Chains A and B, each alone.
Chain A
Amino acid sequence: MDFISHDEKTIVEMLRIINISEVDDLFQDIPKDLIINSLDISNGMSEPDVMDKMREYGSKNKIYPHSFLGAGCYYHYIPSLVDFVISRSEFYTSYTPYQAEASQGYLQAIYEYQSVISRLTEMEVANASMYDGSTSLAEAAIMASIITGKNKVILMEGVHPEYIDVVKTYCWGQNIELKITSEDKLNDTLTEDIAAVMFQSPNFFGDITDVLVLSKEVKDKHPKCLLIQCMTDPTCLGLLKPPGKTDVDIFVAEGQSFGISPSFGGPGLGIFTAKKKYLRKIPGRLVGKTKEVNGDREGFLLTLQAREQHIRREKASSNICTNQALCSLSALIYLVSLGKTGLREIATQNFQKAHYVKKAIASIPGYRILNTKPTYNEFIVKCPNINGLIQECKRVNILPPLQVSTYYPEMLDVALVCVTELNSRDSIEKFIEAAKLAITNKEESAN
């Protein structure tokens, strides 16, 4: 199956017009000793055979009907129309809308995406998307360094550990010094040569920061230091005060929660927003609204391209070219499908249900909630028998919460529990039961 239309007769006819005798002549510029005979790859397969094979691979992945796992990738309900719209092949088989007049549909959709993200975050400018949350945060660090002309940034503990690693890699590339610090040591670390303070809220462990307090602390000390917030599940913005209301300079998030399936962690969506005064330093594409040259009709086009690599080459604000356009379309459809009523309701349910589970778990002797601040849909709990909890969860078909020791080996018995609107009361009861059984099992094995 090769998706090529030509039969042999057509190929001969085309070769005649090109005025060469055989296909091999097309490769006359390639040194002979570089030409290979064939690839050591099995022959192509028919569609039904490929489907069989892929089902076989799929059967080796276990999909659970219930989940208490989040940690940067979340199960939320995806309205059916999201996939319907992004499956319109006029959208998904197009490319970056260089020819605006033949791409008005997508350009308008991206403009609407930028608008809906601005409305949700209350930030003044949103770009057309980045790869994911982690690379958005890394690019934000670089952007802050460009804006301030300083090459040191502070990263607060509690940022997703994989994001920290990505920021480290990017900063090393640009010779930006990265300091990781805790909240109580921030004041000492925050010196004049710092370009930005980066934090996550709700953070990896679930804690919600009072951002107004933090931004005041940072800006009072160094008015020119940028405050950068990141977020891994922005559904919380249906309930929590948005970054635009708390003096955040750059806000980034992983947008997977907005209508994008987990797909083993990618593709997701990098949401990137900033204050308007930083507009010309923003990485990535921007769609703008304008008028016809010779007319009054309004339309949409890629704008401020002088920031971008294809114009500025090595002077560009970032090298990003292809972004996650189709995922931003998913997010747009998701957000307008839910609307303000749905977004508030989703956020409230995540909060209420997680709170319910948190209370229930805390009431089981032996379990201890470690969060000291309010939480949204995730929290950390010290478990008397974490391996038992994980086994019990699996036994009742629940995808267990994250063992925090995966990232922080010293946090041995700690689980990061995630509860979303999709966790039914039934699954919650099963989870609580599993938590209780884990203790019983431990006692039994001890006896």
Chain B
Amino acid sequence: MDVNDLLIFNKGNELAQQNFVPKLDIEPEKIEEILPKNLIRGELRIPDISEVEIVRHYVKLSKINYGVDSGIYPLGSCTMKYNPKINEIVARMTSFSHLHPLQDENEGALEILYEISKLLGEITGMDGFTLQPSAGAHGELVGLLIIKKFFETRGIVKNKIIVPDSAHGTNPASAKMAGFSIIELKSNEHGEVPLDHLEYAMKQGDVAGIMLTNPNTLGVFDRQIKDITKIVHDNGGLCYYDGANLNPMLGICRPKDMGFDIVHLNLHKTFSTPHGGGGPGSGPVGVSNELIPFLPIPCIVSTNKGIVCNYENHESIGRIKAFWGNFGIVLRAFVYILSLGGNGLKRVGQIAVLNANYLKTLLKKKYNLPYDRICQHEFVLSDKYLPNDITTEDVAKRILDYGFYAPTIYFPLVVNGALMIEPTETESKYSLDKFVDVMNQIYDEAKNEPYKLKNAPSNTPIGRLDAVNAARKPILHD
């Protein structure tokens, strides 16, 4: 079947009336007389389509798309928790949604930015925050530019960063964007950072620090975390905390106390703002006192004149985004923190870990669990012992057939055929049990009816797609 017929561009109707433009209430002039002809556009290939057709088209598309509101979304390291509806209502209040970034009389917005900075400070222990970064990777870049500037202003050349092999792919990519080269550190048999290797790497002299995710991507809390940060500090480096996995730490322990100097958070993960199909997110960065002068501009500060913005942060890395960051997202996270409060946040940390361990305990009965210990927010199964040459991808695709979303697959790279599972605190026991039932059934099918996995998914709007050809001869638009 040719999907072209199903694209929006084929639902055009030349007779459609235009409803979205007000009536022109001034006397227009002849365009040709006031705008040179060579600047004027010719053809525009966007059809006129009626509102009914458009709404039906996208409602139809929404029905073949899976979200957290459809069911469990166990995508590891993505923290697919429920997105409270009040967040959406508040973000759409005219007093926020219509606020122009360059207007004054914006005290409400500035107060919110100030207050949430303080709240994130309390949650992470960090002393100062910027809310400018638009996503986690953007926050990483900001954090690394701060490290770069920190050494630059001291006249010290340090152009390498240590990144463990279990790190998110964004870590090395962000480090490179800040001009660093990467020293990859292999995890030890417990999935933790080997201290002797770390010390050796740090001794090289030109190492600016380490980027670490803790709990790491295996869902494991590094028991030697204080030794790690101490070794880095003792050798003149800075410690960067990738906060993608902060959810299980809420109200339990804080990156600053672990010894970190810089932290980025993903508000679209830990703080319940919607993932939106891949953004918009928000990736605030918190720093220790010593690094506050390096934060990007503008900064929000409290003065005797009230809350104001400061455009001249002493040794700032500069501006990293126009205006105020993704305010609409920060606003949602603020509403979430108000709703939960300190007590609620702590419960989030506890139940996120409880749910992950519950799921892990039940799933390891049939699936291989390479790092078998108490996990934090997530855990990683491997493809070891899957019968009949069944692969991780086969299992993932079969999960879709049962109407659930699949875990993160083939990541982290330190586990062969990884299935990385993060249930989050908002899944009920009922939902977790259902997922276990499906996973068990899939295992039995792998043993007895492997073709069901090999041919999966067969119950979705489309079968497995040809990724190789798609990359070889890219078709990217109609």
List the A residue with the shortest CB-CB distance to B400.
A102
List the A residue with the shortest CB-CB distance to B323.
A265
Residues of chain A within 8 A (CB-CB) of B441 are none
Q: A101-B461, A119-B45, A210-B36 are in contact. Are A425 and B26 (CB under 8 A)?
A: yes
Tell whether, in the assembled complex, residue B354 and residue A324 are in contact, meaning their CB atoms are under 8 Å apart.
no
A212 at the interface (CB under 8 A from B): yes
Per-residue interface assignment for chain A, residues 251 to 281, with 1 indicating a CB less than 8 Å from any chain B CB and 0 otherwise: 0001000000111111110000000000100
List the B residue with the shortest CB-CB distance to A77.
B20
CB-based A-B contact count at 8 angstroms: 690
Tell whether, in the assembled complex, residue A297 and residue B346 are in contact, meaning their CB atoms are under 8 Å apart.
no
Per-residue interface assignment for chain A, residues 308 to 331, with 1 indicating a CB less than 8 Å from any chain B CB and 0 otherwise: 111111111011111111110100
Q: A118-B477, A301-B467 are in contact. Are A351 and B31 (CB under 8 A)?
A: yes
| Residues 36-51 (chain B) with a chain A CB within 8 angstroms | 36, 38-42, 44-49, 51
Q: Whole-angstrom distance from the CB of A239 to the nearest CB of chain B? A: 6
Complex: A326 Cα to B26 Cα, angstroms: 35
Complex: A98 Cα to B331 Cα, angstroms: 27
Q: A1-B339, A81-B55, A174-B179 are in contact. Are A93 and B275 (CB under 8 A)?
A: yes
Complex: A312 Cα to B355 Cα, angstroms: 32
- Give 20 A-B pairs besides A29-B374, A172-B145, A290-B465 with Cβ atoms closer than 8 angstroms: A18-B354, A23-B350, A50-B339, A63-B95, A92-B88, A92-B275, A112-B9, A119-B45, A169-B317, A239-B31, A242-B41, A254-B322, A266-B280, A267-B326, A299-B461, A319-B141, A321-B135, A326-B279, A326-B280, A351-B31
Tell whether, in the assembled complex, residue A39 and residue B178 are in contact, meaning their CB atoms are under 8 Å apart.
no
Tell whether, in the assembled complex, residue B342 and residue A93 are in contact, meaning their CB atoms are under 8 Å apart.
no
B340 at the interface (CB under 8 A from A): yes
List the A residue with the shortest CB-CB distance to B251.
A39
Residues of chain B within 8 A (CB-CB) of A437 are none
Q: Whole-angstrom distance from the CB of B282 to the nearest CB of chain A? A: 8
Pairs across A and B, CB under 8 Å, 20 listed: A1-B340, A31-B226, A58-B96, A61-B108, A83-B92, A93-B70, A95-B73, A99-B405, A125-B476, A134-B322, A170-B177, A240-B40, A263-B331, A264-B324, A265-B322, A265-B323, A290-B465, A291-B469, A294-B464, A308-B169
A62 at the interface (CB under 8 A from B): yes
Q: Whole-angstrom distance from the CB of A269 to the nearest CB of chain B? A: 8
Residues of chain B within 8 A (CB-CB) of A208 are 39
Tell whether, in the assembled complex, residue A41 and residue B48 are in contact, meaning their CB atoms are under 8 Å apart.
no
Complex: A51 Cα to B90 Cα, angstroms: 7
Complex: A296 Cα to B446 Cα, angstroms: 26
Tell whether, in the assembled complex, residue A297 and residue B1 are in contact, meaning their CB atoms are under 8 Å apart.
yes
Tell whether, in the assembled complex, residue B170 and residue A321 are in contact, meaning their CB atoms are under 8 Å apart.
yes
A366 at the interface (CB under 8 A from B): no
Complex: A84 Cα to B24 Cα, angstroms: 27
Residues of chain B within 8 A (CB-CB) of A109 are 58, 61
Residues of chain B within 8 A (CB-CB) of A217 are none
A395 at the interface (CB under 8 A from B): no
Indicate the member of A90, A110, A263, A287 with the most B CB atoms within 10 Å.
Answer: A263
Residues of chain A within 8 A (CB-CB) of B109 are 57, 61, 264
Residue tally, chain A, CB below 8 Å to B: 205
Of the candidates A100, A173, A286, A336, the one whose C-beta lies within 8 Å of that of B141 is A173
Tell whether, in the assembled complex, residue A263 and residue B99 are in contact, meaning their CB atoms are under 8 Å apart.
yes
| Residues 455-478 (chain B) with a chain A CB within 8 angstroms | 455, 457, 460-467, 469-471, 474-478
List the A residue with the shortest CB-CB distance to B350.
A23
Residue tally, chain B, CB below 8 Å to A: 205
A21 at the interface (CB under 8 A from B): no
The 3 closest A-B pairs by CB, nearest first: A265-B323, A265-B101, A58-B95
Per-residue interface assignment for chain A, residues 9 to 36, with 1 indicating a CB less than 8 Å from any chain B CB and 0 otherwise: 0110111011110010111111100111
A185 at the interface (CB under 8 A from B): no
Tell whether, in the assembled complex, residue B346 and residue A39 are in contact, meaning their CB atoms are under 8 Å apart.
yes
B19 at the interface (CB under 8 A from A): yes
List the B residue with the shortest CB-CB distance to A335.
B46
Residues of chain A within 8 A (CB-CB) of B96 are 58, 61, 263-264
Q: Whole-angstrom distance from the CB of A254 to the nearest CB of chain B? A: 8
Residues of chain B within 8 A (CB-CB) of A87 are 88
Q: A131-B134, A318-B173 are in contact. Are A79 and B19 (CB under 8 A)?
A: yes
Tell whether, in the assembled complex, residue A289 and residue B108 are in contact, meaning their CB atoms are under 8 Å apart.
no
Per-residue interface assignment for chain B, residues 390 to 421, with 1 indicating a CB less than 8 Å from any chain A CB and 0 otherwise: 00000011001000011011010000000000
Of the candidates A6, A28, A323, the one whose C-beta lies within 8 Å of that of B279 is A323
B98 at the interface (CB under 8 A from A): yes
Q: Whole-angstrom distance from the CB of B221 to the nearest CB of chain A? A: 4
Tell whether, in the assembled complex, residue B66 and residue A73 are in contact, meaning their CB atoms are under 8 Å apart.
no
Tell whether, in the assembled complex, residue B29 and residue A352 are in contact, meaning their CB atoms are under 8 Å apart.
yes
Interface stretch of the complex, out of A220-228, A342-350, A379-387, A439-447: A342-350
Indicate the member of B122, B355, B373, B463 with the most A CB atoms within 10 Å.
Answer: B463
Q: A4-B348, A237-B41 are in contact. Are A160 and B322 (CB under 8 A)?
A: yes
Q: Whole-angstrom distance from the CB of A353 to the nearest CB of chain B? A: 6
Tell whether, in the assembled complex, residue B353 and residue A337 are in contact, meaning their CB atoms are under 8 Å apart.
no
B220 at the interface (CB under 8 A from A): yes
Residues of chain A within 8 A (CB-CB) of B318 are 165-166, 168-169, 172
Q: Whole-angstrom distance from the CB of A439 to the nearest CB of chain B? A: 23
List the A residue with the shortest CB-CB distance to B409.
A98
B213 at the interface (CB under 8 A from A): no
Tell whether, in the assembled complex, residue A85 and residue B97 are in contact, meaning their CB atoms are under 8 Å apart.
no
Q: A50-B335, A351-B35 are in contact. Are A297 and B148 (CB under 8 A)?
A: no
Per-residue interface assignment for chain B, residues 70 to 100, with 1 indicating a CB less than 8 Å from any chain A CB and 0 otherwise: 1001010010111110101111111111111
Tell whether, in the assembled complex, residue A45 and residue B134 are in contact, meaning their CB atoms are under 8 Å apart.
no
Tell whether, in the assembled complex, residue A262 and residue B177 are in contact, meaning their CB atoms are under 8 Å apart.
no
Q: A208-B39, A342-B18 are in contact. Are A322 and B136 (CB under 8 A)?
A: yes
Of the candidates A92, A101, A166, the one whose C-beta lies within 8 Å of that of B277 is A92
B314 at the interface (CB under 8 A from A): no
Residues of chain B within 8 A (CB-CB) of A88 are 58-59, 62
Complex: A343 Cα to B135 Cα, angstroms: 31
Residues of chain B within 8 A (CB-CB) of A319 are 137, 140-141, 170, 173-174, 176-177
Tell whether, in the assembled complex, residue B477 and residue A115 are in contact, meaning their CB atoms are under 8 Å apart.
yes
Tell whether, in the assembled complex, residue A290 and residue B346 are in contact, meaning their CB atoms are under 8 Å apart.
no
Residues of chain B within 8 A (CB-CB) of A428 are 26
